[in-house]
Structures are given as C-alpha cells and as structure tokens.
Structure 1
Amino acid sequence: MRCVAQLTAEWREPAEVLSAYAEEPWALGLVSGAPGEPGRWSYLARDPDATLMVRAGARRDPFAALSELLGPSSPGLAGGPPFQGGVVGLASYEFADWVEPLGLARQAAWPDLAAARYLSVLAFDREAQAIVAIGRGADEGAALARARAALSWLDAIPQAPRRGALTDGLINSDAAAYEAAVAQVVERIHAGEIFQANIARAWTGRLAGDARPFDVFARLVGQSAAPFAAYLRLPGLALVSNSPERFVAVRGGAVETRPIKGTRPRGRTPGEDVALAAELLASDKDRAENLMIVDLMRNDLARVCAPGSVRAPELFAVESFANVHHLVSTVVGRLAPGKGAVDLLRAAFPPGSITGAPKVQAMKTIASLETPRGPYCGSLFWAGFDGDLDSSVLIRTAAFALDEGGWSLEARAGAGIVADSDPHAERLETEAKISALARALEGACA
C-alpha cells in the first residue's frame, strides 16, 4: 500500500465515535488518556480488508503469516500520526507456545492470535484537538477514497452510555487458595527453581441485561484513563483493556520496552498518597523485583538489536494511575540490520513482567497453578506499514464471550512473587489492581 492520503476534521472524543459501530466484528479502539506520549494519539479502525486467526495446532508459523499479512514496508506521511494503517493483533498469553513449545492448555473460545489489516484509520490528536483520517491504497485515488471512508465514520449517530451497574456482581477466586499458591511459589524460589513468577487470580461474572462490553470500555476511559486503553470486538468475543504498560515499541528502528514491577495502592488522603508513592520508591524488595525483569527484557531485546545498543536509561520511576502507583523502568535498543517488528515480537513474547525469571521456568510454574489465561497477560499490538510498532501488556483487562445467556466475562490480576513475598500482602495487591475495573463493572454511572 504505497500511497497514503489524509483528511482532517474537528475534534470528537474517540469513545463517542466508536460507540456507533462498536458491535461490528473487528471494530477497534486504541484510546490513550494519559498525559504525554503515548497519550497524544488515539486510533479507531473498522472493516479490515484481511484478517488472520491462529489457533493451537495450526500448521503454518504464525509469525510468517503475520509478516505476510503486513506485507512489504511502505513509508507513511512525514509528521503524521505514529500509526497510519497496518495490522492490529491480539496475541493471547498462550501464543507463547509458538515461541517456546510448552504444551500450554488453551481457553476454548480464544484464538492464540487474531489479527486484522486496516487500510483506513481515524487518528485522534488530543494535543492539537483534531482528527486525521488516513487512507492507504495502491494509488492516490484509492488512498483518498479510503481516507474519505474513514472520515464518514464521524457521521454515524453515537449511542448514549449505559447507566447503572453493568454486572450483577463479580465472583472472585478463593483468597485462601491464592495465598497458598503464593506460598508455594515462595517455596520454589527458595529451592532454586525460579527467581520470580507472576501469579494471578480470576474474577468472573456476566453482564447485566442489555449491557455491552463497549459500555465497560467507555466507562473505564471516562473514570480511569490509561495509556493503553483498548477495545476489540471479534465474532462472539470482545476485549476491553485499561492497561498502563507498554510491552515493546519500534519507531524508526529504535526499540523501547517499559516493564512495570512494583505496586502500591493510591492513598485515601493526599498525605497518605505521597507516603505510599515514597514507600514504593524506597522499597528494596520492589526495586529488586523490577531489576530482575529489566535484566530479562535486556536479554530479550538483545536477540534482535544491534550489539551494544541495548541499555536501561531510566530505572525505578514512579508512575501514578487512578487506583495504583507503579514502579516503571525503561529499556531501549536499536534493531539490527535485517530485523523488524515481527522479529521483535517473536524475541520478546510473552512479556517478562507477567511471567518471571527465568522466563521459561516461570511459565511452567504459572501453568501448574493457573487455568489458561487467554488474552490476559498477552499483548495487543499495532504494526504499521512503515515498519513501526507499539504494543501493550494486557493487564487490567476483561475478556468477554457471547453465549445464549448473554455476555460472560473474566478478568484477572496478578502479583510478582519473589523470595520475601508475603502471601497476604500479594493478595491485597491483586485487589488494588482490579479495583478500577471492578468499580466500572459494579458501580453506577451518574
């Protein structure tokens, strides 16, 4: 798709625009409400021209299929939005079996990989308060026609947000069982089997009445903005994510990952909030936990980056979100000649921050203690026609499946377990992490 065209329109909130067609298969929203990059740009897309579904047992290498779907690199418009059309993909956690064959069990409903190629995109520039409609095509006429098609999405009548509780209640996994699992992981660490493992617990429920997964997404965007909020509608399935965490990104060959490890809840008063952030920053345990994953991600990036280019320019930055403080580090590198975005995905998947160290052994530990994760702790990514990439870690995420009774849902929250982890404290951390999503599901919208 060598030619690119763009048209502009006045600002509208992306979630409002998406509400008009959110029930279409492959309707997509990537909405960032955080300040600064990547908070400036949000994207909507629909009606892909090609799709890819990969399930366990597929004969073809899914990374090769993904590269074929993306096609040869084609430059974008200088100064335009970072994503100017390309492939958006949902890689479930068990997609890891294609990187390191472990015989992971699967959730029946969810594919390992669901990807779609979008030739039309609406890019929302929050900084300039403008919308850019992007179209791709084999010639200028085709590109302009697709940009006009994207612009026409703004004409659809938005749907009003649903008020009231979106679920009749969430059922969470047994607290004592989770604490026992944490204690078991601590024992394995002391036995020398692993250094760290991220263990999660599940919350399940059903949407009430005529509530839609999109209602959950719209409420989250309004109540607790996150850098990597996302909505993806698949046939019979839907994903809603309010993730704060970048997995891997490529911009002009420069690579970045920003792993999160270390959490405290937000305080009930300004003074308590400041104290909790300071406690997190000063915690030797949380710094050690974070540094283990930094080292793991440095190793993953080094597989596809030029020798000597991988480094960690920032360690242990405290970032604050609606319900938690997090400890975040940054690792960067530069792709080696001949390596691209898909190579980076293969080298780094699944994200180290939600597996542990060593990664493969931590994954075996997770598989022995959890049911299949499905989308949770996988990644939602866009890969541009120009070779750039961005991706999230699918935490703070709910997975929805449609059946005869309506929409069922599952959400999980986990904690990184290390040698001195306290099972009760780790269980409380999972509850702090799930709180914004639970509030959106169970609370009433004024």
Structure 2
Amino acid sequence: MDSASSGHGQGRYSYISANPISRFRWGDGDFAEEFGGAFRAWRNRFRASVIAGGAPFQGGAIGYMSYDAAKIWMRDFRSRHPDSADDTIEFALYDTVMAFDHFERRLTIYSAGLPGPDKAPDKALAQQRIRAFAEVVEHQDDQSKEIIESSTDWSLSSDQAKYVDHVAAVREAILDGEIYQANIASLWVRKAPSQTSAFHDYLELRKQTQAPFSAFGTFAGRTLSSLSPERLVSMTSEGNVRAEPIKGTARRSTDPERDRDIARALARSEKDRAENIMIVDLLRNDLSRVCQPESVIVSRLCDLEKLPNLHHLVSTIEGQLAPACDVLDLLGAVFPGGSVTGA
C-alpha cells in the first residue's frame, strides 16, 4: 500500500507485507447471503492488540472486491462482464508489515506472531518474523532499475460504436428519471509476460501518476495495480466514519500563473460543484443507513486539493457508526462508490 504522493495530507504512511498466514475467497458461485457470516467468522479467528502511537496499520487483512461484489448487497445487480475472474472477493491476512513514515522518515516492522499456540499471539514467533523481514530488506537489490520486458499490445473491450450506444443509453435513462449521471468505463486488456513485468509497469506508471492511495499486490490468479487519489471510506477503531469523494478534476500546469488560473476555474465551475454535491447527498444517505441518527455531517464541501499532476474538488462526510453495525455493514452501505458509478 503505497503513498506515492507522500506530500499529500493522507499520504503519510506506506506499507509492505508478504507471506499471508490465511486467505479468504468468495467466488461467483457462492451464495451472497452467506458472505457476511463467512467473512466475520474468518476475521474473528485472528485477534491481536496494536501498539499505541504506532502506524495506523500494523497487520491485518489486505485484499480486493471486484465491482461484481455489489451483488452481495444489491439483489437486482447483474454483471456486465461475464468474462470476469471467478473470485469476486479475496482477502489475505498479513501478520507482519513494514510501515514507512514519510513525514518522519522512519521505518518500522510490526508482527503480532499469529497464529501462535491456541491461535493466540506468540512473541517469539513475532520476533522471528521481524528478523526475517529485516534481513530480506537489508539484502534486497534495487530491481526497479532493471530493464524488464513489457508488453504494449493493449486491446480495448469496447469499440467506438458501442461507446456511442452506451452514451445514448445513459442519456435516455437520465431523461426517464432513472439516474442523474453515470460513469461509462471501458476495459483495456493485455497479457503480461510475468508478475515481475507487472511490477515494472506499476513503477513506470507511478512515476507519471503520483497518488496517495496507490497499491500493488499479487493474489490467486491475478495481479492488481492501483493508482487512486481517492479512498472510498475509512473507519477508526472508535467507529468514526469518513468518506471523501472526489468530483471535479483538472490537469495542473507547469506554469505557476496558468496553474492558479486552472485551480480558480475548477473551484468556480458550476458543473463540477453540482456533480460533487450530488455525490455528497448520495453518501449522506448511504452513511445514514449505518450511522447513529443525526451524526452524519458534511464537514467540508467542494474544497480544492492539489496533487502533483491534478487539481481536485473534494468533500468530506463524517458520521459515528451505530452500535449494531460493523465495518462490513459500512462497506455494504457505500459499495460500489457513487463517485465511480454515478447516481
């Protein structure tokens, strides 16, 4: 989990984990109504305390949920990509994690020593894993400088005619009052020579697009790269919930005066502000389903944020999770994100 834009307010920490101690997978053929119980049972098998004052993430589950995972919470959801991979959801539990504090330039390795005897944390096992992780880091060569074969034969899943048809369908749905807006996405596909090549591609993209929520990971049958400026939702151990949707984006200029003009134009854009406020209203409604009554507030609206390559309009919606709900209920309330799908 890579805070490639470390100067960003939310880009303080980056994390590296390896050798998971357990995996959880949920496939297209599994019953959606059983997902919550299965995931909670898997999660509850592993419990460990955290070090006060340490990095926010000191080990735990890292994974992905494909767009098709929406069917777990939306009974009328239908996949538009029948060729998607079998596993809709996969999480891996990492006991050992290396955390790098970009602000203090400090590297810390955490391990709870799970699962020890009777599934409890084992201090000796934790120390052993920390030493092994440190040894690998100390002797790791800089592979990012290697020249690795990289395929460039990308193919687009949708041609121009299909894209135009999709635009027409969205316009018709808006006129019919079914939706307010939609994001029309296309899928680019290629076959990479190896996982090493995929990591090389990620590093190359990282040079061009520095984002606070970047990530690279390998899972069963797939490798994932993410270069995202936006986090869907976060929750603290005290149940404080926060969503910070982005709607409104403009590319930055290398000329300072021109860059200021671009930022001012974005901040005043009625179109971008209207889209941002629409998603804010959607998320207020989503969070109200799982948060305590009257706890959901908009703490900032259409603030201008600067990344190395882009200007964004960002809003913040906060709330207090209801006692009867947990993080899985929260995820179900906001997934998939309105700033991605439309509304």
**Per the alignment, do residues 319 and 240 of structure 1 end up closer, same or farther by CA in structure 2, a change over 3 Å counting?**
same
1:157 aligned onto 2:140: yes
- Aligned-pair distance for 1:73? 5.6
State how far apart, in whole Å, the 1-side matches of 2:161 and 2:308 are.
Answer: 27
Q: Is the 8 A contact 1:134 1:147 kept in 2?
A: yes
- Aligned-pair distance for 1:313? 0.6
1:229 aligned onto 2:180: no
Listed as ranges, the matches of 1:167-316 within 5 Å are 167-172=151-156, 173-175=158-160, 177-207=162-192, 212-251=197-236, 252-267=238-253, 269-316=255-302
State how far apart, in whole Å, the 1-side matches of 2:171 and 2:146 are.
Answer: 44
Q: Is the 8 A contact 2:5 2:211 kept in 1?
A: yes
1:40 aligned onto 2:23: no
What SS does the corresponding residue of 1:33 show, helix, strand or coil?
Answer: coil
**Per the alignment, do residues 326 and 234 of structure 1 end up closer, same or farther by CA in structure 2, a change over 3 Å counting?**
same
- Aligned-pair distance for 1:79? 0.3
Listed as ranges, the matches of 1:17-166 within 5 Å are 29-59=1-31, 61-71=34-44, 74-105=48-79, 106-137=82-113, 138-158=121-141, 159-163=143-147, 166=150
User: Greater relative contact order: 1 or 2 (C-alpha under 8 angstroms, separation 6 or more)?
Assistant: 1
What SS does the corresponding residue of 1:195 show, helix, strand or coil?
Answer: coil
Q: Which runs of 5+ in 1 are unaligned?
A: 1-28, 358-446
**Per the alignment, do residues 74 and 340 of structure 1 end up closer, same or farther by CA in structure 2, a change over 3 Å counting?**
farther
- What is the one-letter code of the residue matched to 1:194? I
- Aligned-pair distance for 1:160? 3.7
- Aligned-pair distance for 1:309? 1.0
Q: Is the 8 A contact 2:28 2:86 kept in 1?
A: no
Q: Is the 8 A contact 2:239 2:321 kept in 1?
A: yes
CA deviations on 1:275-296 (whole Å, 9 max, x unpaired) are 2222221111111111111111
CA deviations on 1:212-233 (whole Å, 9 max, x unpaired) are 1101222233332211110011
- Aligned-pair distance for 1:129? 1.1
- Aligned-pair distance for 1:308? 1.2
- What is the one-letter code of the residue matched to 1:116? A
**Per the alignment, do residues 112 and 164 of structure 1 end up closer, same or farther by CA in structure 2, a change over 3 Å counting?**
closer
- Aligned-pair distance for 1:189? 0.8
1:340 aligned onto 2:326: yes
- What is the one-letter code of the residue matched to 1:128? E
Q: Is the 8 A contact 1:166 1:211 kept in 2?
A: no
CA deviations on 1:129-173 (whole Å, 9 max, x unpaired) are 121110113233333333333323313433243448833354444
Q: Is the 8 A contact 2:292 2:321 kept in 1?
A: yes
**Per the alignment, do residues 241 and 209 of structure 1 end up closer, same or farther by CA in structure 2, a change over 3 Å counting?**
closer
**Per the alignment, do residues 165 and 331 of structure 1 end up closer, same or farther by CA in structure 2, a change over 3 Å counting?**
farther
Q: Is the 8 A contact 2:148 2:197 kept in 1?
A: no
State how far apart, in whole Å, the 1-side matches of 2:194 and 2:103 are.
Answer: 38
- What is the one-letter code of the residue matched to 1:334? Q
Listed as ranges, the matches of 1:370-381 within 5 Å are none
State how far apart, in whole Å, the 2-side matches of 1:139 and 1:164 are.
Answer: 40
State how far apart, in whole Å, the 1-side matches of 2:255 and 2:172 are.
Answer: 37
Q: Is the 8 A contact 2:48 2:112 kept in 1?
A: no
What SS does the corresponding residue of 1:226 show, helix, strand or coil?
Answer: coil
Question: Matched residues, percent identical?
Answer: 38
State how far apart, in whole Å, the 2-side matches of 1:276 and 1:170 are.
Answer: 32
- What is the one-letter code of the residue matched to 1:166? S
Q: Is the 8 A contact 2:248 2:312 kept in 1?
A: yes
**Per the alignment, do residues 152 and 61 of structure 1 end up closer, same or farther by CA in structure 2, a change over 3 Å counting?**
farther
CA deviations on 1:53-90 (whole Å, 9 max, x unpaired) are 11112147223222222227643110000001111120
Count of residue pairs the alignment pairs up: 329
State how far apart, in whole Å, the 2-side matches of 1:206 and 1:278 are.
Answer: 42
- Aligned-pair distance for 1:263? 2.1
CA deviations on 1:101-149 (whole Å, 9 max, x unpaired) are 2352343425210101111111111112121110113233333333333
Select the structure that is richer in strand: 1
**Per the alignment, do residues 36 and 152 of structure 1 end up closer, same or farther by CA in structure 2, a change over 3 Å counting?**
same
Q: Is the 8 A contact 1:260 1:290 kept in 2?
A: yes
- What is the one-letter code of the residue matched to 1:122? M
Please name the residue that 1:440 is paired with: none
1:354 aligned onto 2:340: yes
Regions of 4+ moved over 6 Å: 208-211
What SS does the corresponding residue of 1:212 show, helix, strand or coil?
Answer: helix
Q: Give the TM-score, by structure 2 length.
A: 0.87
State how far apart, in whole Å, the 2-side matches of 1:119 and 1:267 are.
Answer: 43
Please name the residue that 1:364 is paired with: none
Q: Once superposed, what is the RMSD of the aligned Cα atoms?
A: 2.4
Q: Is the 8 A contact 2:5 2:307 kept in 1?
A: no
**Per the alignment, do residues 311 and 143 of structure 1 end up closer, same or farther by CA in structure 2, a change over 3 Å counting?**
same
State how far apart, in whole Å, the 1-side matches of 2:176 and 2:333 are.
Answer: 29
